[in-house]
Amino acid sequence: MKIYVAIVSIVLVCFCLHIPSIAEGQNNRNKTVANQQDFYGSNSLLIAPKYQADESSCPLLPGCPYGPAIPLPPLPITKDEQKQLHLSHDVSNLAEGSGKYVGMLLIPAGPFEMGSPDGSGRPDERPLHTVYLGDFYISKYEITNAEFCKFLNKQGEISSDGLPSVRTDDPSSPIVRVSGAFEPKPGYADRPVTHVSWHGATDYAQWAGGRLPTSAEWEKAALYTTIKPPLDNISLPTEEQSSPVYTAEAGAFGITGMSGNVWEWCSDWYSRDYYALSSSQNPLGPSLGQEKVIRGGSWASPVSSRRIQNIHKAVPRGYYQTVGFRIVKD
């Protein structure tokens, strides 16, 4: 009975946190920002629906896609499927980057098994399929508030879609404006940037000479570097906030934060059925959509949402307390 009540409670939480689809309206693109508070108040498309009855306008979590983001109950995995999920990867070609790739890790070209076997995971993680990717470098750490402030102070607040890159007027935002300049709140300089839109993350990545990872690149990097993959269970988190990126859960070669800490924006549009149609070489995701893929789970996510194969989604113009990003370079 206790287990049943706990499961029902979690389902209700996910239902209450559900985010409706939000259109990418064009009327906001050419507006200028004279007063930030008025700007946010007059553009409903900027603000994802409130998830909590408090003063925060940036939700703690994106809504659960297609119902609960946890199985009811967790689905068993056979021994054969377990072998498929834990293929032995040749990590001998993993290497630390140097020069323009300093602080990054080389993920070698080659195939890997993407997704989950039949009977396990979520519908949007199936079918399990082989994907070939060219080599790429991925940042060892999520982008920090200090790094994003440097970008804001040089490039400005407004992103390429004409809207703010990051919410600074929200009480939970880790970035504030002081005397016209952006800076992290005390104690937040080395924590991952959050309250950043997909457009803001994309602009930062380009400014830094890179791009956002595709969902396939993110998953392959996680498979190669995660030492203890999270299991598919309903254990709830104990963390109260994100960790500094340099002390977050570590993986191979010192990469951190691939499991938990904050969700990470990917370049792909989200589609529940994409794996059945996906290209087998360097897939880029659907050509159109309403939400963007986020991966990795956060400090506020149940363990099942931190699984490597788990896929989630968020509105690209949304600002969330638990969504950040890292970059890749070719």
Q: For residue range 244-255, list pLDDT tens digits in order.
A: 999 999 999 999
Say which CATH class 2-21+37-329 falls into: alpha beta
List of the chain residues with pLDDT < 50: 1-56, 64-78, 81-88
> What was the pLDDT predicted at 48?
37
Residue 171 corresponds to which tokens in the numbers above?
Answer: 């009480």
Strand, coil or helix: what is 256?
Answer: strand
> What was the pLDDT predicted at 41?
36
Its pTM stands at: 0.79
CB 144 within 8 A of CB 192: yes
Number of CB atoms found within 10 A of residue 260's CB: 24
- The full set of domain ranges for the chain reads 2-21+37-329
Q: End-to-end alpha-carbon separation of the chain, Å?
A: 52
Nearest to 268, CA basis, from 254, 287, 247:
287
- Type of residue found at 275: Y
Nearest to 133, CA basis, from 114, 152, 161, 118:
114
> What was the pLDDT predicted at 64?
46
Greatest Cα pair distance in the chain: 60
> What was the pLDDT predicted at 145?
98
Q: DSSP per residue over 94-118, as a string?
A: -EE--GGGTTEEEE-SEEEEES--T
Residue with tokens 């595709």: 214
> What was the pLDDT predicted at 121?
86
> What was the pLDDT predicted at 239?
85
Q: How many helices (H) and strands (E) does the chain have?
A: 6, 12
Cα–Cα–Cα angle for 198, 275, 229, rounded to 5 degrees: 75
- Hey, which residues does 328 pair with through a beta bridge? 138, 211
Separation of alpha carbons 243 and 301, rounded Å: 14
Strand, coil or helix: what is 250?
Answer: strand
Q: In what order do the strands lie in the sheet with 95-96?
A: 95-96, 104-107, 136-139, 328-329
CB 318 within 8 A of CB 48: yes
